[in-house]
Each structure stands twice: as structure tokens, then as C-alpha cells.
Amino acid sequence: MSLTFNLLNRTDAGGRRAELVLPHRTVQTPVFMPVGTAGTVKAVPQDVLESLGAEIILGNTYHLYLRPGHEAINRMGGLHKFISWPRAMLTDSGGFQVFSLSALRKVTDEGVRFRSHLDGSSHFFTPEHSMDVQIALGADIAMAFDECTEYPAERGRAEESLRLTMAWARRSLDHFRAHQHEVPWLRPNQENGVPQVPLLGPGNGNPTQSLFGIVQGGMFRDLRRQSAERLVEMDFDGYAIGGLSVGEPRDLTMEMIAEVLPLLPADKPRYVMGVGYPDEIEQYARMGVDMMDCVLPTRAARHGLLFTSEGRLNIKGKKYAEDQGPPDPACSCTVCRRYSRAYLRHLMHAGEALSATLNSIHNLAYYLGIMERVRASLHAQAE
Amino acid sequence: MSLTFNLLNRTDAGGRRAELVLPHRTVQTPVFMPVGTAGTVKAVPQDVLESLGAEIILGNTYHLYLRPGHEAINRMGGLHKFISWPRAMLTDSGGFQVFSLSALRKVTDEGVRFRSHLDGSSHFFTPEHSMDVQIALGADIAMAFDECTEYPAERGRAEESLRLTMAWARRSLDHFRAHQHEVPWLRPNQENGVPQVPLLGPGNGNPTQSLFGIVQGGMFRDLRRQSAERLVEMDFDGYAIGGLSVGEPRDLTMEMIAEVLPLLPADKPRYVMGVGYPDEIEQYARMGVDMMDCVLPTRAARHGLLFTSEGRLNIKGKKYAEDQGPPDPACSCTVCRRYSRAYLRHLMHAGEALSATLNSIHNLAYYLGIMERVRASLHAQAE
């Protein structure tokens, strides 16, 4: 069986407090998932992620396929084992990066031909191939291969893109269902003949990978509805809303999410991809989004932007040169307990590696802290 | 009072097991000191250094003087507080970096004029100024301002360089003795009026900074002897041997160390600067060297070179692409317990920040582990 989604309670506003039971971890939702593009959440060691309370992280299929290669990772027992991350993982389909990073893309109904941004080599991705790669990586959750509609997009373009995404969703699901038990952790271990099956409570059966469909449709409410309804008919293990946070105004993002959420089955997880700022993730969680991911906390950290209870703080600022206060006085993360703004500013200006690490730890603590508070609040509201 | 050096025992070969009581830490010697050039041991967070058992780290006066500036650090309570490192620290005099990093140096008897490698600005360092900067930074141990004689150097050049170093040693000491109580941690705290005085056991008095003289003399045994004897007459708190590991053959390094050690007082610490490879630090410790520092473990780590019980390992090698073994099978550091060679290789090839962090943690664990074993062995031999 795939995932189990135990809804614990619901608020009038639609917010949901739940447990998402995955092969490698029972994840408390709503959850924010740090992004570990190339098998590492940039600059943050795995034990620190664990201490921060991260229960599920992302891996990017496009990056891992190109380097070190999904077959190598598969031979080594899968992505969890390769990067030494025992908790839950999700891989995207590679679609978004093929469109945003690679060169010379050529899209046909069959799939996408593209050149690697690393060495210019030519590759062809189809829905079936994306599934094979994601099964080889063996995350707890895989994503259907889709085309992320750009913003702005005319209606005709959004319709055509959606047509492709829906056809690819069907093909993704068919191929996935036929092969989802081939994940590396169900394979007997070479040394002792025992599968690397993760420990689950009784009654959870033989855990396998899950596949989520992705709702697209640009910024057109009827296309979004159509997309959601068709995916629900196909019966995925969970549903994502993609193609948001691609440059559109915040109101529009929220409008699209609000349009789609009621159409998705209440007993399956809902994931909004690639969002967002701290206030956004809180807002969407309160509307009923169960899962979110974003590179923002770690990417902003590497540029010296800290998210704090007092707002955004650009640590490069001259005014912090002798500021001995913690980055965020209301934060109890290991960085805020130990280091000053002046020191973080110095590390940034000196180009020291520790800068990215400490800034990222704080920002992730801030994001994960928001979700922890939202979960407590959803719990309290429902009682 | 300055440092206390409690000799615990001695071996026939001259090796010494001792405790070096410094204001911020009682350090077990022989000790290896990780280098924290710009107020950070590159890529390694302070709490990890503590877990690794680092008891004393270095700061580079030249770098900290240029950025963020010793006066700013002093206003913030000194280097320990600025970087949040509660254990012992040592600062070098800035001399070595002035000669190796800066541009357009002009040396006179008075001091050195140089241009910053960061922005080309002009600066003038004298022995007195180096002392002022080091007192402002407030490490537990400061170093006399010296000229590091290059290798190879003719006798005439080595004599002239030594003349300068000896004159500067006298001036360093005189200025230091007049101002050594001005360290930031003896200043009453602005908030509560209490000095940041570190806790010491009873009988240790009012702890102040210590100053070490530096033996130079190129590769000439008689100049080295002369240098050592004159410094000992001046009565420093400890003695360093500088100008080694500058390109000379290993035998010559050892010859110079062997020549100098017997001339130094038995009841004061002896520090060989800027060495070395794992086998070197063990060898010198067994000869009676109490303190060593080197950028090698961290710099090599950033280039993918790991020191292991099986020898040096270049983690970039293709043969490690699917090697699931730990970097060093005999090592119990957090990196060797959790990550594989294949993963470390992947991080290096992908240019991920985590690469420098994990490689550095292992190499430092390896270096600190050597010293721990040497201390145990010196202890056992003496019984």
C-alpha cells in the first residue's frame, strides 16, 4: 500500500491537522519541506536538519538524474541511503527543472528533449522515464511528469499546456502503478538478504512509494477546475497544485489555490509546490494545504536575507556591523542562541562558508517553527 | 598572571604531557590548534568544534585587523565573544600574513608598510601596533611581531632577518607587558559592571593574556640557537619556533626543532608554528613540542583530500563513485559514522557547500585524534 493520511481535525476555514504516514516517517501536517536539490539541503548537515525537526525533504530528479545518476543511486540502495537521510523524502518529476534550467528544449507529445545545463549532453524525458528515474531514486513520494505553464500565458497556451500535462499524468500513473514496488528499499539487501524496509507500525502493510498528480491550468479558474477533476478521476495517492509562485500577484496565487482545494478529496494530502514567503505558507496552511516546499529559506540565507519575527533582515547592512543582538530575539534556534548579527554580517562580508550554514539553519528553523505553530493552532481551533 | 604550565610527565625522547592553564581553558598538551583565520574555522560551526574536542583555536591578526577591524571586535567585548568561542584562543602577530598575502611591502627597522590584499589600502604595522591589535582582540595567547625568514635564504639574509626579529621581539614584549591587562574581558561589562573574567580554579589569580616569542634564524643551527637564547633571556610566557614548513625538506625541519627545543625552558610551553602533516605533528609532539597549528586539515578538506588511517584519500577519485564505505573505516567521527565515500565524492563534484563542512570535520577529527592518542601514549610511557 501507499501512504495513509489520517485527518486529525479540521477548522471552519478549511485548515487540516493530519498525520501523513509514509514508509520512512509519519509526518505531521501541515508540513514545510526543505529542498535538498542535489541530495543535500544546501550547506546544512543532515543531523542538523533532524535537530531542526525536518520530517520530510525534497530531492530534485533533474539534478540527481544528471549527477550522480539515478542508476548509481539505485545500485547504492536508493536516495535515502545514499545521502543518509532516514526520514521521508519526496522527489519532483524533473519537469520544472527541464523547463527552467536546461537548454534547447524540444517538447512533443511523447516527451521533452533537452540539453544538460552541466555538460550540454542530450537527454530525453518522457512520463515513463521520469517514473523510472523516481522509482530508482526511491523517495516516499514521487510526482507525475508535468509541464509547468509559464506566467503570463494566454488561454490558448494554457489549454495546450494543460492538455499535455493531463496526458502525461495518465501515462505517469499507469507506468508508476506497474512498477512502484521496484523501489530500492524493497529489494533484499545484498549483505543480509533482508529488505531495507522501513519500520512501520502494525497494520501498515508493505509500504510502497506514492504518486501525486499535479494540477495545472495557468491562471484560469475553469482550467484549474478541469485539471483537478480529471486528476481526481485518475485516483492519485495525493494531489499537488503546480505552476504557482511563477511571477503572478499573490492574490492570484491564493485565488487559484482556493478554487482547487474544494475539488480535491478530503482524505488525501494536498501539496502546493514551490511556495513561499513565511506569511504565505502560514496562510495556505490555514486554508487547507497540507504540504509545501520552497528554496526560499535556504536561497535567501545564502544571500544574507534572514526571516525573523521582526520581518526580513538583510544581514549585510552596515547597521548590523556592531549589533550584538541575536538575528531574531524571539527565536530559540541554535544560531540565535549563540551568534550575533555582527558576527553573521562579518561571515557574509568575508565570504566565509559558515555564513550560508548559519543563515540557512536560522531560516529553516523559522519556517519549520511557523508550521509547528500553525499545527498547534489548527489543533486548538478544532477542539 | 599569565599562563600556568603544569608538566605532568616526560618521556626519555623528550615528549611532554602537560596542562596549559589559560584564562579561557585548561588545555591538554600536546595540542593541535585548528586555524580560524577570519574568526571561523572555515566551514565548521563552533558547536561542532567543541564536540570534536578542540580546546584552543587560532585567529589571524592580519585578517581580523583588516576585517571587521580589531577596534570593532574590541568594542564588542573581544574575539572570544565576537565569534562565540568560549574556549582558549591564540592570535598570531600578523607578520606572516603581511609577508605572504599583502602587496607592496616595505620593511624598515620601525615596522612594515603594506597594502591590504582586500582593497589595496595602505597600512603600517610595528611591533607595538601588533601588540595593540592583539590586546584589543584579546586572545589567551598573543605572538611577538616577527619577520618570517623565507626559504631558501642565504646566511646574510637570515642574519639580517633575525636581527630585525630579535629587535621586534624586545619591543613586542616591552609594549605587551605595559598593556597586557587591557584585554577586553578584564573590562567591566557595560550591562552589569562585572568583568567578563573567565572562571578559573582557586589560586590562579587574575588571568591575563600571555605573549610568546618566536625563534627564527632560517635553516642555520647557530642562528637558531642564538635566537632561542636571546628570547629566553627576555623571559616570554612561552616560545614558538617559526619559519619552518616554508618549503624546506622535512629532515631540515626536524633538525631545526631538535636544535632549539633543549634550549627552551622546560617549564614553559613550546609551539611549532604552521605544521604539518599527520605524521609530522605526531613526531614533533613526541620530541617535546607542546603546541602546533596548521591550515592543512581544513584546506586539504576543501580540496577533497582526506587524511585517514589508510593514508591520504582524494575523494574526487572515480573509484569512489559507488564506494559505500566510510571515509575512514577506523574513524568514529560523525562524518565517518554517517556518510559514505560515494556521497562525499558527489558533494565535491556537485560543488556543494556541505562538502567542505563534512571533509573538514573528518580531517579535524583525524588531527585531534592523533593528538589524543599521543597524549595517552606519553602518559603511558612515563609511568
| Local confidence pLDDT in tens for the 383 residues of chain B | 789 999 999 999 999 999 999 999 999 999 999 999 999 999 999 999 999 999 999 999 999 999 999 999 999 999 999 999 999 999 999 988 888 887 778 999 999 999 998 999 999 999 999 999 999 999 999 999 999 999 999 999 999 999 999 999 999 999 999 999 999 998 877 677 666 655 444 445 558 999 999 999 999 999 999 999 999 999 999 999 999 999 999 999 999 999 999 999 999 999 999 999 999 999 999 999 999 999 999 999 999 999 999 999 999 999 999 999 999 999 999 999 999 999 999 999 999 999 999 999 999 999 999 999 999 999 998 75
What is the distance between the alpha carbons of residues B32 and B291, in angstroms, rounded to a whole number? 6
* Long-range interactions of A157-160: CB distance < 8 A, separation 24+: A157/A218, A158/A217, A158/A218, A158/A219, A158/A220, A158/A223, A159/A223
pLDDT at A319: 98
Are B358 and A68 within 8 A, CB to CB? no
Question: What is the distance in angstroms between the Cα of A87 and the nearest Cα belonging to chain B?
Answer: 14
ipTM (interface predicted TM): 0.97
Are B349 and A38 within 8 A, CB to CB? no
Taking contacts as CB-CB distances below 8 angstroms, the residues of chain B near A356 are 353
Grid coordinates standing for A346? 562579518
Backbone angles phi, psi at A350, to 5 degrees: -85, 0
What is the distance between the alpha carbons of residues A111 and A311, in angstroms, rounded to a whole number? 43
Q: From chain B, which residues contact A within 8 Å (Cβ)?
A: 38-40, 42-47, 63, 67-68, 72, 75-77, 82-84, 321-322, 324, 334, 338-340, 342-343, 346-347, 349-350, 352-354, 356-358
Question: What is the distance in angstroms between the Cα of B360 and the nearest Cα belonging to chain A?
Answer: 12
Using the structure block, give the residue that is written with the C-alpha cell 580554579. B201
Are A334 and B67 within 8 A, CB to CB? no
Are A322 and B40 within 8 A, CB to CB? no
pLDDT at B203: 46
Closest CA to A184 of A23, A382, A18: A23
**pLDDT, mean of residues A271-281:** 97
Tell me the pLDDT tens digit for each residue of A73-117: 999 999 999 999 999 999 999 988 888 887 778 999 999 999 998
Burial of B309 (0-12, 13-18, 19+ CB in 10 A): exposed
Q: In this complex, which of B84, B350, B357 lies closest to A45 when CB atoms are compared?
A: B357
Grid coordinates standing for A104? 534547447
pLDDT at B194: 66
Tell which of A354, A355, A358 to mutate to test the B interface (max B CBs under 10 Å): A354
CB B239 within 8 A of CB B230: no
Taking contacts as CB-CB distances below 8 angstroms, the residues of chain A near B75 are 322
Active site residues of B: 92, 293
Tell me the pLDDT tens digit for each residue of A214-236: 999 999 999 999 999 999 999 99
Burial of B106 (0-12, 13-18, 19+ CB in 10 A): exposed
Q: In this complex, which of B43, B45, B72 lies closest to A322 when CB atoms are compared?
A: B72
pLDDT at B199: 47
pTM of the predicted model as reported, rounded to 2 decimal places: 0.97
**pLDDT, mean of residues A177-204:** 72
Q: In this complex, which of A39, A322, A354 lies closest to B40 when CB atoms are compared?
A: A354
Q: Which residues contact B211 (CB under 8 A, 6 or more apart)?
A: B2, B131, B141, B142, B143, B144, B172, B173, B176, B177, B180, B236, B237
Q: In this complex, which of A42, A77, A338 lies closest to B353 when CB atoms are compared?
A: A42
Q: B379 to each of B7, B17, B30, how far by Cα in Å?
A: 11, 6, 11
Q: Amino acid letter at B218?
A: G
Q: In this complex, which of A45, A322, A352 lies closest to B76 when CB atoms are compared?
A: A322
Are A338 and B47 within 8 A, CB to CB? yes
pLDDT at B200: 45
Share above pLDDT 70 across residues of chain A, in percent, rounded to a whole number? 95
Q: Which residues contact B221 (CB under 8 A, 6 or more apart)?
A: B255, B256, B259
The count of CB pairs under 8 A between chains A and B is: 108
Is residue A290 annotated as a catalytic residue, yes or no?
no
Tell which of B74, B343, B349, B359 to mutate to test the A interface (max A CBs under 10 Å): B343
- The single-letter DSSP state of residue B351 is T
Closest CA to A20 of A92, A91, A93, A87: A87
Using the structure block, give the residue that is written with the C-alpha cell 612515563. B382
Question: What is the distance in angstroms between the Cα of B116 and the nearest Cα belonging to chain A?
Answer: 14
Question: What is the distance in angstroms between the Cα of A369 and the nearest Cα belonging to chain B?
Answer: 22
CB A76 within 8 A of CB A106: no
3-state secondary structure of A333: coil
Backbone angles phi, psi at A61, to 5 degrees: -60, -45
Question: What is the distance in angstroms between the Cα of A354 and the nearest Cα belonging to chain B?
Answer: 5
pLDDT at B197: 56
- By CA distance, what is A85's nearest residue in B? B338
Of A146, A290, A293, A328, which residue is the catalytic one? A293
